Amino acid sequence: MNHATWMTRRAKELADPATHLGPKAQEIYDETGLAIELGRSVYQRRTELGWSQAELARRAGMTQPAIARLENSLALPSTRTLLRVATALGQPLHITIGDAA
């Protein structure tokens, strides 16, 4: 099995929580989903405002590459970073533990 085949197979395994690869895989799956959701939300609001990544970065006191990493879901940001971005976007930050019912 070459590296590309392994990466594709691994991505499929991680993307399907029904495979139940164990608690660590589930944790990675959940964190990835959260990072994607956050990135999409930031991108959507930024583009609604007609701002570039550089403009959002300036308003949030960050760098453009940091905004790009956030939007591209490369890592989960800290709550401090989320608060800075939410404030710059003029949006409240809501953090919920447990069901949001």
* CA dihedral for 41, 42, 46, 49, sign (positive or negative): positive
Instruction: Report the pLDDT value the prediction gives residue 13, as an integer from 0 to 100.
Output: 64
Amino acid at site 67: I
Q: What percent of the chain has pLDDT over 90?
A: 50
Instruction: Report the pLDDT value the prediction gives residue 99, as an integer from 0 to 100.
Output: 74
Q: How many CB atoms lie within 10 A of CB 46?
A: 20
Q: Which of 93, 96, 95, 91 is nearest to 44 (CA)?
A: 91
Instruction: Report the pLDDT value the prediction gives residue 48, as an integer from 0 to 100.
Output: 97
- Residue 75 pLDDT class (50, 70, 90 cuts): confident
- Give the residue carrying structure tokens 């760098």: 63
Decide if pLDDT at 85 tops 70. Answer: yes
